[in-house]
């Protein structure tokens, strides 16, 4: 594993609600990052949705942090922390540098890869009856 990078392993098991929260936050943060990285305005509705998704992710993390530690949970933690930072900057009317938006985009790509792997693993289990 590279510094600061989460690797989604084939054998890692993550609770479904963690994967769902990661998926929701990935979609919301990626949409905002697409706009913010190019200097476009992030709309109020997007800020509200990102805030809601971040709060939901924090609630899920609070439930699962004491019970298990998986790469998906770590990735959700990193993405949640980045989103909190962006939301804090927005709340204090500070500009968010494009480097931060790019980092959120990178985490979003990693999240997508993990979600895709979890879905493929789940589909494989369903097909084989495991």
Read off the pLDDT of residues 32-42 as tens digits, 9 standing for 90 and up.
888 887 878 88
C-alpha distance across the termini of the chain, in Å: 29
Q: Are 6 and 71 in contact (CB under 8 A)?
A: yes
Residue 59: CB atoms within 10 Å? 12
Whole-structure pTM value: 0.79
The domain limits of the chain are 16-128
User: If you count them, how many residues does the chain have?
Assistant: 130
- Provide the pLDDT for residue 117: 83
Displacement of CA 23 from its chain's centroid (Å): 7
Banded pLDDT at 3 (limits 50, 70, 90): very low
CA atoms within 13 A on the CB side of 56: 17
- Provide the pLDDT for residue 12: 54
């Amino acid at each position: 594993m590279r510094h600061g990078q989460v690797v989604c392993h084939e054998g890692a098991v993550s609770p479904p609600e963690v994967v769902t929260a990661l998926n929701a936050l990935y979609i919301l943060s990626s949409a905002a990052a697409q706009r913010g990285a190019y200097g476009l305005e992030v709309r109020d509705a997007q800020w509200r949705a990102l805030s809601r998704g971040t709060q939901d992710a924090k609630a899920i993390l609070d439930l699962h942090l004491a019970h298990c530690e998986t790469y998906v949970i770590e990735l959700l933690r990193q993405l949640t922390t980045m989103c909190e930072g962006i939301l804090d900057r927005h709340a204090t009317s500070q500009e968010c540098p494009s480097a931060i938006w790019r980092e959120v985009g990178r985490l979003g790509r990693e999240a997508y890869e993990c979600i895709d792997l979890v879905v493929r693993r789940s589909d494989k289990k369903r097909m084989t009856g495991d």
